Chain A
């Protein structure tokens, strides 16, 4: 039994069957990529996993616990973090403050009223945040307004914000979308480092096959809302059904 189990998930938007009977079994400590042509339902699936969307039927279980019906913050507190397609960070705050917020969320839970002591006096949280920033090579920028960062730095900051919570599962929605080749390669290296340095399961949604084949251990191909095949990268590469799904899109 995997860490994340998706069973018979269906989702309709009006007349459109966005997800049809999706079954997934994601093993602990693997990097699992979900690929597929545009409109295959990849993002819909991811949104169902983090509580942004509620599927019409089916179940999602994480670590033996049901996920559906929970609020986004509850799902995060179970150990699922998400990196968005465009980096979602606190643009009005400094880099350090951006990392402090998930540190507090990790230590104190979804809500705690600590309104009198200063942030600076919380030395354990300050230390954790600084260590995380130095891990992603951003310590020098800790007082920079994060809205002023480059796209690549924003992505790294967002990863740092997710990782500082020590999630069991990291969901990445097209982590290299819109990046130049050099930035893409940096992101691949960063993700490899992250994977190598801790016990973490990753689910990546990606268009860029270079990224997928550099990272993934398992690949699921999604087409028209249904998983077509699930296999290792080597087998996926030559799979006729996969070629058909992609070529069919190109031909249409």
Chain B
């Protein structure tokens, strides 16, 4: 199907089904129940799942295949965002031109950064990319204020020219980001008994792009180009003595992953029309590294899982506060309830990084192949018979170093 072999096609269908049904899957608890705070099915978070999924899929094409660890990919995300918001200010609030330009600008920027950074490998490459990203951040924050809005960042204003919108009569959605008139923030609510599900325009636009991005990454993984990228990771010396020039291969991978980051940046603006320089900060670059490793670097589905996992934690665990905790343990005797609250408190709310950090350590130590490896082990347990012809997500997993 679609030029994919059977296991890949199954995986793609699985991802399509999950993304389409996400509003149901992420809202498993009734709205009024005590568990409702674990529901992740609201537009803002669902959009983040797929957008950061795109970011991580692209990052994985570089890191997972070639082994080159970029510590500056947030710069491409940020550049894509700035490009997108300028498109909205100058041309139209329709998201399509904004998204296209964000991919192009991020691609050009990553060509420059990659051309210079790829002159070195290993830790020096990582440091060069980090330096570029931090320079971009500082520039956006101070020197380039006329273009980037500095500390305040950029938002669309009523005084923006928006040439195309003026030409074709206001753009329809009254200064809101839209897809040919469909407001990205529009949602359809569907209540079934105690459950409530939200279907958001912006989410589905981003989800379709993520599916396309995922499909493209499968094609790249299975192509001769993907094979060459894995050769870079495995033995660059042998590759060069086999008559292959590894530099353009790594540069192409770098630019492709930069374009994915730009697409994610453009989509962030399409969902929420504002940009600030903090989007390029080094912690944002580090986050996508965590996503790829947590999910399983070098696997197809891993980065998507990692992105979902981290964004879920960031948004859900961080919202649990002390009073919610007390509610959970209210049934216990007083002393015990206070004790439980005191023990768990550091791991929730603002302490969510602590929980994530511990989980990350556990995964790296016990599941070097990330969540994908965890899934395979569980699948193997259920299968009983140790057979190797497993379908779906395990077929492409290469043992991570």
- A93 near B231: Cβ-Cβ < 8 Å: yes
- CB contact between B231 and one of A50, A101, A106 (< 8 Å): that residue: A101
Q: Which of B219, B241, B242, B243 contacts A116 (CB 8 A)?
A: B219
- Tell me the bound Cα distance from A77 to B243 in angstroms: 5
**Which residues A89-146 have CB closer than 8 A to chain B?**
89-93, 97, 100-102, 104-106, 108-122, 125
Q: Which of B17-25, B222-230, B260-268 has 4 or more CB atoms under 8 Å from chain A?
A: B222-230
Contact B240 A105 (CB under 8 A): no
Q: How far is the CA of A109 from the CA of B243 in the complex (A)?
A: 7
Against A, the Cβ 8 Å flags (1 = close, 0 = not) of B362-401 are: 0000000000000000000000000000000000001100
Partner pick for B223 among A77, A89, A117, CB 8 A cutoff: A117
A88-B238, A100-B227, A111-B249 known; A106-B243 Cβ under 8 A: yes
Cβ of B220 within 8 Å of any chain A Cβ, yes or no, is yes
Contacts of B240 in A (CB 8 A): 71-73, 76
**Chain B residues whose CB sits within 8 angstroms of the CB of A102 once the complex forms:** 242-243
A117 to B222, CA, bound (A): 8
B237 within 8 A of partner (CB): yes
Q: Does B121 contact A (CB under 8 A)?
A: no
CA distance A213 to B246 in the complex (A): 38
B223 pairs with A118, CB closer than 8 A: yes
Q: A92-B398, A102-B243 are in contact. Are A113 and B238 (CB under 8 A)?
A: no
* Residues B242 and A105 in contact, CB atoms below 8 Å apart: yes
| Contact in complex: B241, A72 (CB < 8 Å) | yes
B396 to chain A, nearest CB (A): 12
How far does the alpha carbon of A119 sit from the alpha carbon of B5 in the complex, in Å? 11
Interface check A82, CB cutoff 8 A: yes
B244 touches A (CB below 8 Å): yes
User: How many residues does chain A have at the interface if contact means C-beta atoms less than 8 Å apart?
Assistant: 39
Q: Given A73-B240, A76-B243, A90 and B234 touching (CB < 8 A)?
A: yes
A50 and B241 within 8 A (CB)? yes
Bound Cα distance A111, B248 (Å): 7
Evaluate contact between A91 and B243: CB separation under 8 angstroms.
Answer: no
B227 touches A97 (CB 8 A): yes
> In the complex, which residues of chain B have a beta carbon less than 8 angstroms from the beta carbon of A111?
244-245, 248-249
Bound form: Cα–Cα A165–B5 in Å: 28
The CA-CA distance from A102 to B239 in the complex, in Å, is 8
**What residues of A have a CB within 8 angstroms of the CB of B222 in the complex?**
118-120
Query: Closest residue to A121 on the B side, CB-wise?
Result: B3
Q: Which chain A residue has the least Cβ–Cβ distance from B232?
A: A90
B234–A118 touching, CB < 8 Å = no
- Contact partner of B245 (CB less than 8 A), chosen from A71, A93, A120, A125, is A71
Q: Which of B226, B233, B234 has the most CB of A within 10 A?
A: B234
Contact pick for A76, options B223, B228, B242, B249, CB 8 Å: B242
Whether the Cβ atoms of A120 and B235 lie closer than 8 Å is no
Given the complex of chains A and B, what is the CA–CA distance between A50 and B240 in angstroms? 10
Cβ of A161 within 8 Å of any chain B Cβ, yes or no, is yes
| Chain A nearest Cβ from B129, distance in angstroms | 22
The CA of A77 and the CA of B245, in the complex, are separated in Å by 10
**When the two chains form their complex, are residues A119 and B227 in contact, meaning their CB atoms are under 8 A apart?**
yes
Closest to B298 in A: A92
Main secondary structure of the interface of B (DSSP, over half): helix
Residues of A within 8 A of B4 (CB): 118
With A88-B235, A116-B223 as given contacts, are A93 and B241 in contact (CB-CB < 8 Å)? no
B245 proximity list for chain A (CB < 8 A): 71, 73, 110-111
| Inter-chain contacts of A91 with B (CB < 8 A) | 234-235
Given A88-B237, A88-B238: A105 in contact with B226 (beta carbons within 8 A): no
A115 and B219 contacting across the interface, CB-CB below 8 Å = yes
List B contacts of A110 (CB < 8 A): 243-245, 248
List chain B residues, Cβ under 8 A from A116: 219-220, 223
Interface residues of B in 247-283 (CB under 8 A from A): 248-249, 252, 256
**Max chain A C-beta neighbours (<10 A), residue from B224, B226, B239, B242:** B242
- The reply to whether A90 and B235 contact each other, CB–CB distance below 8 Å, is yes
Are A93 and B223 interface neighbours, CB within 8 A? no
The interface residues of chain A lying within 8 Å CB-to-CB of B223 are: 114-119
Q: Which residues of B contact A92 (CB under 8 A)?
A: 230, 233-234, 398-399
Give the residue name and chain of the B residue nearest to A117 (CB): B223
Give every chain A residue within 8 A of B226 (Cβ-Cβ).
115, 119
Most buried by A among B224, B234, B239: B224
In the assembled complex, how far is the CB of residue B219 from the closest CB belonging to chain A, in whole angstroms?
Answer: 5
- The smallest beta-carbon distance between B391 and chain A, in angstroms, is 16
Residue from the set B230, B231, B243, B245 with the largest chain A CB neighbour count within 10 Å = B243
Residues of A within 8 A of B219 (CB): 115-116, 118
A9 to chain B, nearest CB (A): 20
Q: Which of A48-92 contact B (CB under 8 A)?
A: 50, 71-73, 76-77, 81-82, 88-92
29 contacts between A and B (CB under 8 A): A71-B240, A73-B242, A73-B244, A73-B246, A77-B243, A88-B241, A90-B239, A91-B234, A93-B227, A97-B227, A97-B230, A101-B227, A101-B231, A104-B228, A105-B242, A105-B244, A109-B243, A110-B244, A111-B245, A115-B223, A115-B224, A115-B225, A116-B223, A117-B3, A118-B222, A118-B223, A119-B227, A120-B222, A161-B238
Name 14 extra pairs, CB < 8 A, besides A111-B248, A119-B226: A73-B244, A73-B246, A88-B238, A90-B235, A92-B233, A93-B230, A104-B224, A104-B228, A105-B244, A106-B243, A108-B224, A110-B245, A111-B244, A161-B242
Task: For the complex of A and B, list the 4 residue pairs with the smallest distance between their C-beta atoms, beginning with the closest.
Answer: A76-B243, A115-B225, A110-B245, A90-B234
